[in-house]
Structure 1
Amino acid sequence: MTDAISLSRRSFIATSLAGGAVLTLDASVVLAATTTTAPSDVLNAFVRINADNSVTIGAKNPEIGQGVKVMLPMLIAEEMDLAWEQVRIEQTDADETRYGPQVAGGSTATPRNWLPMRQVGAAARAMLVAAAAKKWSVDPSSLSTAKGAVIHAASGKSATYASLAKAAAAEAAPDLAKVPLKDEKTFTIIGKSKPGVDVPKIVTGQPLFGIDTRLPGMVHAAVVKCPAHGGTVASIDDAAVKAIPGVLAVTAVNSGFVPEGKSDTVVIIADSWWKASKAREKLGVKWDDATVTGFTTAKYEADAAKLVTAAPQASLLKTGDADGTLAKAAKVIKADYDYPFLAHASLEPQNCTALFKDGKLEIWAPSQAPAGGRAETAKLCGLSPDDLTIHLTRMGGGFGRRLMNDYMVIAGQAAKALPGKPVKVLYDRTDDFRHDFYRPAGWHRFTAGLDASGALVALKDHFVTFGKDGKPIRAAQMAPTEFPAPVVPNVDLGISYMATNLATGWLRAPTSNAMSFVWQSFMDEVAEAAGLDLPEFMRRTLGAPREIPGERVGFHTARARGVIDAVCKSAGWKGREKGRGFGFYFSHLGYFAEIVDLSMKNGAVSIDKVWVAGDIGAHVINPINAMNQAQGCVIDGIGQALIGQKIVQEAGAITAENFGDFALMRIDAAPRAIAVEFVKTDFPPTGLGEPALPPVIPALANAIYSLTGKRHRRLPLEMV
């Protein structure tokens, strides 16, 4: 299991608050003990039992639409034996010393928290039972719990959790590693659909997101950034800007992308954002960008075309003798595949509000990784990380963009330049497109060899991407365990790097969103050469049920086969049929297989239906949200694959200005139906924000080929 965490008794603190009406249980995932007291109306821990017997549960992870704000409290509530109607949910602040990792990325929330959050709830229940046992002078084992009450069946006595809160707070916290957990067969909350806690506010347009932040005396900031990524400020002429009534300050800051001591962003602060934005037209900035203006999309294409024909600069994996086996193979299949840079294109542009006062910095941030933002902001503001308080706001889209905290870093420096006033930094749409952290482009030259029986016996890939000092830049990696490399006897995976000035970052289903396309599309070509459809070729290549070791986690061939068989059965797959395409991928601990059905009418291709089968372990914690996540992944993946999503660079700068230059998925292009099935297996549950996305891209490409006879080997795809 990836990034597993555990709780200990030392990190589980019970505190009596506000006259004993409230029990606070602070269950940190670090071992250092802390003691916390606060008024009963302040959430400072995971659990707060209120006087009316409702229970407030803190949701610690950032909410980005993945449903974690409900999912994590469900785990605690289940083990506390609550009725869901009793539960109230509040977003916690960012405080990893108390709550442990608080990240929205990598589909890690479920595997990281499945046991720890259940242990939090079980420990709370144990303390309440202990308090009741003392009150009634009975053995704790004679007591049961249900719907927020402790029950002694023999005497008919019962007591609400609220009535026991003060006494329970005095009980010693149990050893969380040994606290008994519920029999999974008795779950009443886990596995039952629970709606999003923020949905009423979202559909009625109530303030909720970072962009909605309003504070007394707040002022507004617009940014001016060097068009060519990596360029820095040489000089500023701000006289005309400062002469504008309502402009309060002009300051140069470091977004975190350039070396310390340099500035790549100028912030204009005014009494309204519109005034600050318009003032940018009068700002004179000279940029030091001579070393970064030579990067263009055309140059990348030309350089990659040369590199891919040469020997790789480095080896990722070599097993057996790929060249020797290819020379004797019954059939050899070759193909080149590539994909472009992509933007995140979140609907809510980047924003952050900060207040610097009395040497402390208070921040309201829609961040997927607030701990990283805390460290970087503190460093560039010359503060200690402990001097920062970070309030987490809901995010209006992120897809990995908000794992990077440039907006927080800029807001912190802007607020420090104007102490005592909350400063709200807001990117406009062009700022967002031109200063993203992009999914890197990549080029692949594949060669595969089949023996006389059609078995895959040799495989080569020369992957050209972006790197520095012989290492890939962020999000440009390829794992040596890309399927089917681990099950092929003769493999040669090589890599070569080019330079880029662009900031890069993780896009939803990072690396997998690109690798799934090239590997599964090429495997469809290989399967066809073997006289098989892709599902059957996958079954034969997977071989016997077993676990194949990986860099971080193993790959279970039986789980892969399980979802392949399930989706083929549900879709009625009969082999190669016109207008149908298949794709499989394992990523973020999830196994998913998908089938895309297309049709053509009057020369126009439409996506009729997508079939999805996924294995995320033994439990689907919140079924309605799981369904939404899988369907959203499919739509997002198709959007990444279709024509219109491509980032173009000229003279070191990005050309896109708005959604007209980077089209998002429209309703009329979405599948008419998306059928989702979960294959339950005897493994701990894993995340769902990402693993359902990758397979749909090759499934779509393979479906286009089966419908039109045209093999698409580069993204974005054309639906013809």
Structure 2
Amino acid sequence: MTLELPVLTKGGASRRDLLKASIVGGGLVLSFSIAAKSEAAETAGASALNAYVRVAPNGIVTIMGKNPEIGQGIKTSLPMIIAEELDVAWENVRIEQADNDPKLYGRQFAGGSMATPLNWDDLRRVGAVARAMLVNAAAVAWNCPAGDCKTSAGQVVHVATGRKATYGSLAAQCAGLPVPDPKTVPLKDAKDYKIIGKAMPQYDVKKIVTGEPLFGIDVRMPGMLYATYEKAPVFGAKVAKADLDAARAVKGVRKVFTVEGGTNLTGLLPGVAVVGDSWWAARKGRNALNTQWADHPTSKQSTAGFDKRAAELAAGPPMKSLRKDGDVDAALKGAAKTVEAAYAYPFLAHTPLEPQNCTAQFRDGKMEIWAPTQNPEPGRQLVASTLGLKPEDITVHMTRCGGGFGRRLSNDYMVEAAWIAREAGVPVKLLWTREDDMHHDFYRPAGYHYFKGGVDAAGNVVAWQDHFVTFGDADAVASSAGMAPTEFPSRFVPNFRMDQSTIPLGVPTGPLRAPGSNALAFVNQGFIDELAHAAGADPLAFRMKLLGDKPTVGEAPAMYNAGRMKGVLAAVEKMSGWAGRAKLPKGTGMGVAFHFSHLGYFAEVVQAKVASSGAVKVEKVWVAADVGRQIVNPAGALNQVQGAAIEGLSHALFQKITIENGAAVQSNFADYPLLRMADSPPVEVKFVITDYPPTGLGEPALPPVIPALCNAIFAATGKRIRSLPIDTSQLKT
């Protein structure tokens, strides 16, 4: 059954404007669309070839976008893969966002830059199977072998006679034909691609720039009320007292109630819900609560306390050894030059421009949810377990997300909305404030690294020691707070030691764009630069030497392809004019860094100018990337790389979440700024094509830009940046 809900469109469409059934493999296809009426009419009478593809009599092909769209362009690029193998003209393609349905679509999530590598082969086969079905339908109609036919831009052509039939005229005839084995259908050669590899604008771009409703925050339902949910500043603290009557007395407030909640920081936490006729009424009611919170152990934690404890731990023996190769102590004693340095980085918030929100309706024992989520199925399971519902009684419609960066991998806002909707008895839209979003994040963890390293007389790194102080306990680190024993330069230094100590933490943490790597690249590439300086070596040539002569190190899944990394280093060296950096004016420097993460190899150079006041101006960024043999959508790929670099610069220059008395201090963009357009540098991007499977690139472009900037500042000033965000007062001359 295809259920389209064009309730978010202009023109006052009814909630259920179109209801039609299509059988796919003996099952039901359930899809949610916020397409306009004109689009629904355009694709009326369409026949489903499989769970992803419908073909209308007029030749318009509707392709389902299986994964959440959070701005990374996946709603466009994954259907491009299907459309290519289907052999349909892109202008005749329409795209709908699929509902959460793991039985039909498998894993549906946005995270880890995994959409392309996980779906590349499967979605090509989806398109190829649909194409084969249309060819078979034509062959039956023409009483000829299927091998006598070919396809071209939405038509099947009989090669010998030139006879043609449109996909629209053939689609209904596919219903009675056997479905080809996906493993046997031929796939196109890359040289024949007409869609893949061509720059395509994001499918929704016109709707976005003209303000048509697409996002979770835009959802409207008949009879819908609005909700806010107040939680303790200290994560997980219970409600001690709240003036519910004062909130109920506010005009427009319908319901006010306390939620007991639990202790799982990723689930439903204690709080007070206020439901009103408008969000403003609910917000005013919340302001009247005057909530007091119970004591909680986390209230004793602070950034200052973490800093102090990290220094204490660094002075003593580590709690745990992560890796030990060779004899680091002996190598340090025998080194020609040694360097010691302490690095630190702060907690970071995700700050998507669309705050967390969710619309939910509970009716007849079933829950229906409209959510801008990166991870819908775990959200469905969370709602089921918290509310005592069967997962099959919960439907999750995925709306477009106004940014995510990993924040929407957690579904706390979804379970809050579901709980409130069940209590309210009507559809409810929960909307967080910006302050809610910043105070109740799953922060990128802070961390501390205490390095010792040595180089020999020939400029080789002979010793590397890192005492990593992070958060967690003896058995496990906090979410996204760990470091793998294979993290570069592990396996590239003969005498290598990586140790770990942990600090207890009651602050929720989680993945933020390029989780782990966004911090580890800063410290490791910064310290590599320090060793290069100690060796008197060109920082880029020093890195080339460190990567060595072996093309690969280690085995899958922990293999590191040094040859690919050297390829992007060579490319960025040429792009940036690295050899001519000595001609830069005083106070201007270039820095280089590289990093491997999320299957992508990236090297970046930053050119930055430091004024006598200490102000830093990033003048240009160069990025060389190796993400395999195929860029699906060059326009989207360019946007992702440039956006990652800009976000990384924001992290380096401005952003820090400080914990005091167990709560986040920063609350809005006034004290947690983003890089503004006027200060954003040009970002030049080159994709180095290599014969490896295509990978994602929304995340791996971010980590190198931070150390590249810090290394550029050192080149310009001679002053090292060992903690973030950059303190420009220390750069004054």
- Does the TM-score normalized on the shorter chain lie above 0.5? yes
- Residue 612 (structure 1) aligns with: 623
- Residue 588 (structure 1) aligns with: 598
Query: What CA distance in whole angstroms lies between the structure 2 residues aligned with 1:292 and 1:144?
Result: 67
Say whether 1:69 aligns with 2:79.
no
Task: Name the aligned partner's letter for residue 590 of structure 2.
Answer: R
Query: What CA distance in whole angstroms lies between the structure 2 residues aligned with 1:262 and 1:626?
Result: 36
Preserved contact between residue 358 and residue 370 of structure 2 (Cα < 8 Å): yes
Query: What CA distance in whole angstroms lies between the structure 2 residues aligned with 1:633 and 1:219?
Result: 37
Preserved contact between residue 23 and residue 169 of structure 1 (Cα < 8 Å): no
RMSD between superposed Cα atoms in Å: 2.0
Q: 1:343 to 1:511 in 2, by over 3 A?
A: same
Say whether 1:432 aligns with 2:437.
yes
- Residue 624 (structure 1) aligns with: 635
Q: 1:89 to 1:442 in 2, by over 3 A?
A: same
Q: CA deviation at 1:657?
A: 2.0
Say whether 1:137 aligns with 2:143.
yes
For residues 322-347 of structure 1, give each alpha carbon's deviation from its aligned partner in whole angstroms, at most 9, with x where no partner exists: 12221222221111100000111111
Query: What CA distance in whole angstroms lies between the structure 1 residues aligned with 2:240 and 2:306?
Result: 28
For residues 504-557 of structure 1, give each alpha carbon's deviation from its aligned partner in whole angstroms, at most 9, with x where no partner exists: 111111111100100001100011112212221111111124222267342111
Identity, % of aligned pairs?
51
Q: 1:24 to 1:181 in 2, by over 3 A?
A: farther
Preserved contact between residue 244 and residue 257 of structure 2 (Cα < 8 Å): no
Q: For 2:298, what is the secondary structure of its paired residue?
A: coil
- Residue 394 (structure 1) aligns with: 400
Q: For 1:244, what is the secondary structure of its paired residue?
A: coil
Preserved contact between residue 22 and residue 28 of structure 2 (Cα < 8 Å): no
Q: 1:260 to 1:589 in 2, by over 3 A?
A: closer
Query: What CA distance in whole angstroms lies between the structure 2 residues aligned with 1:154 and 1:451?
Result: 73
- Which moved further from structure 2: 627-636 or 128-137? 128-137
- Residue 564 (structure 1) aligns with: 569
Preserved contact between residue 251 and residue 281 of structure 2 (Cα < 8 Å): no
- Residue 683 (structure 2) aligns with: 674
Preserved contact between residue 23 and residue 166 of structure 1 (Cα < 8 Å): no
Preserved contact between residue 46 and residue 56 of structure 2 (Cα < 8 Å): no
Q: CA deviation at 1:64?
A: 0.7
Task: Name the aligned partner's letter for residue 535 of structure 1.
Answer: L
- Residue 710 (structure 2) aligns with: 701
Q: 1:479 to 1:340 in 2, by over 3 A?
A: same
- Residue 695 (structure 2) aligns with: 686
Residue among 126, 141, 157 paired with 2:132: 126
Q: CA deviation at 1:658?
A: 1.2
Query: What CA distance in whole angstroms lies between the structure 2 residues aligned with 1:589 and 1:252?
Result: 46
Q: 1:387 to 1:41 in 2, by over 3 A?
A: farther
Q: CA deviation at 1:490?
A: 1.4
- Residue 660 (structure 1) aligns with: 670
Q: For 2:636, what is the secondary structure of its paired residue?
A: helix
Q: 1:375 to 1:527 in 2, by over 3 A?
A: same
Say whether 1:78 aligns with 2:84.
yes
Q: 1:266 to 1:23 in 2, by over 3 A?
A: closer
Q: 1:261 to 1:137 in 2, by over 3 A?
A: closer
- Residue 531 (structure 1) aligns with: 536
Query: What CA distance in whole angstroms lies between the structure 2 residues aligned with 1:260 and 1:704?
Result: 39
For residues 410-462 of structure 1, give each alpha carbon's deviation from its aligned partner in whole angstroms, at most 9, with x where no partner exists: 0010011022x110101111111111110110000011121221111211100
- Residue 18 (structure 1) aligns with: none
Query: What CA distance in whole angstroms lies between the structure 2 residues aligned with 1:465 and 1:571?
Result: 35
Q: For 1:468, what is the secondary structure of its paired residue?
A: coil
Query: What does residue range 292-441 of structure 1 map to in structure 2 within 5 Å?
Result: 292-419=298-425, 421-441=426-446
Query: What CA distance in whole angstroms lies between the structure 1 residues aligned with 2:268 and 2:60?
Result: 52
Query: What CA distance in whole angstroms lies between the structure 2 residues aligned with 1:56 and 1:395?
Result: 21
- Residue 183 (structure 1) aligns with: 189
Task: Name the aligned partner's letter for residue 562 of structure 1.
Answer: G
Say whether 1:482 aligns with 2:482.
no
- Residue 215 (structure 1) aligns with: 221
Query: What CA distance in whole angstroms lies between the structure 2 residues aligned with 1:397 and 1:124?
Result: 33
- Residue 12 (structure 1) aligns with: none
The gaps in structure 2 that reach 5 residues or longer are: 1-19, 31-43, 583-587
Q: 1:256 to 1:162 in 2, by over 3 A?
A: farther
Say whether 1:168 aligns with 2:177.
no
Residue among 443, 449, 457 paired with 2:454: 449
Residue among 22, 27, 46 paired with 1:35: 27
Say whether 1:651 aligns with 2:656.
no
Moved over 6 A (4+): 22-25, 41-44, 259-262
Query: What CA distance in whole angstroms lies between the structure 1 residues aligned with 2:140 and 2:301?
Result: 73
- Residue 549 (structure 1) aligns with: 554
Query: What CA distance in whole angstroms lies between the structure 1 residues aligned with 2:574 and 2:140?
Result: 57
Q: 1:235 to 1:599 in 2, by over 3 A?
A: closer
Query: What CA distance in whole angstroms lies between the structure 2 residues aligned with 1:572 and 1:243?
Result: 67
Q: CA deviation at 1:169?
A: 2.1
Preserved contact between residue 581 and residue 700 of structure 1 (Cα < 8 Å): yes
Q: 1:354 to 1:605 in 2, by over 3 A?
A: same
Preserved contact between residue 84 and residue 189 of structure 1 (Cα < 8 Å): yes
Query: What CA distance in whole angstroms lies between the structure 2 residues aligned with 1:261 and 1:207?
Result: 28
Preserved contact between residue 25 and residue 48 of structure 1 (Cα < 8 Å): no
- Residue 158 (structure 1) aligns with: 164
Q: For 1:579, what is the secondary structure of its paired residue?
A: strand
Q: CA deviation at 1:37?
A: 6.4
For residues 480-512 of structure 1, give each alpha carbon's deviation from its aligned partner in whole angstroms, at most 9, with x where no partner exists: 111111211111100111011111111111111
Query: What does residue range 243-282 of structure 1 map to in structure 2 within 5 Å?
Result: 243-253=249-259, 258=264, 263-282=269-288
Task: Name the aligned partner's letter for residue 483 of structure 1.
Answer: F
Task: Name the aligned partner's letter for residue 398 of structure 2.
Answer: L
Normalised by the size of structure 1, how large is the TM-score? Answer: 0.93
Task: Name the aligned partner's letter for residue 432 of structure 1.
Answer: D
Q: 1:576 to 1:305 in 2, by over 3 A?
A: farther
Q: For 2:500, what is the secondary structure of its paired residue?
A: strand
Q: For 1:503, what is the secondary structure of its paired residue?
A: coil
Give the number of aligned pairs: 690
Preserved contact between residue 254 and residue 410 of structure 1 (Cα < 8 Å): no
Task: Name the aligned partner's letter for residue 196 of structure 1.
Answer: Q
Say whether 1:712 aligns with 2:717.
no
- Residue 38 (structure 2) aligns with: none
Q: For 1:452, what is the secondary structure of its paired residue?
A: coil
Q: For 2:579, what is the secondary structure of its paired residue?
A: coil
For residues 304-360 of structure 1, give each alpha carbon's deviation from its aligned partner in whole angstroms, at most 9, with x where no partner exists: 111112111111111111122212222211111000001111111110000000000
Task: Name the aligned partner's letter for residue 559 of structure 1.
Answer: R
Query: What CA distance in whole angstroms lies between the structure 2 residues aligned with 1:677 and 1:255?
Result: 49
- Residue 13 (structure 1) aligns with: none
Q: 1:396 to 1:140 in 2, by over 3 A?
A: same
- Residue 512 (structure 2) aligns with: 507
Query: What CA distance in whole angstroms lies between the structure 2 residues aligned with 1:261 and 1:560?
Result: 40
Query: What CA distance in whole angstroms lies between the structure 1 residues aligned with 2:417 and 2:318?
Result: 43
Q: CA deviation at 1:40?
A: 4.8
- Residue 50 (structure 1) aligns with: 56
Q: CA deviation at 1:121?
A: 0.2
Task: Name the aligned partner's letter for residue 656 of structure 1.
Answer: Q
Query: What CA distance in whole angstroms lies between the structure 1 residues aligned with 2:574 and 2:653?
Result: 27
Query: What CA distance in whole angstroms lies between the structure 2 residues aligned with 1:354 and 1:558?
Result: 51
- Which moved further from structure 2: 163-172 or 191-200? 163-172
Task: Name the aligned partner's letter for residue 618 of structure 1.
Answer: R
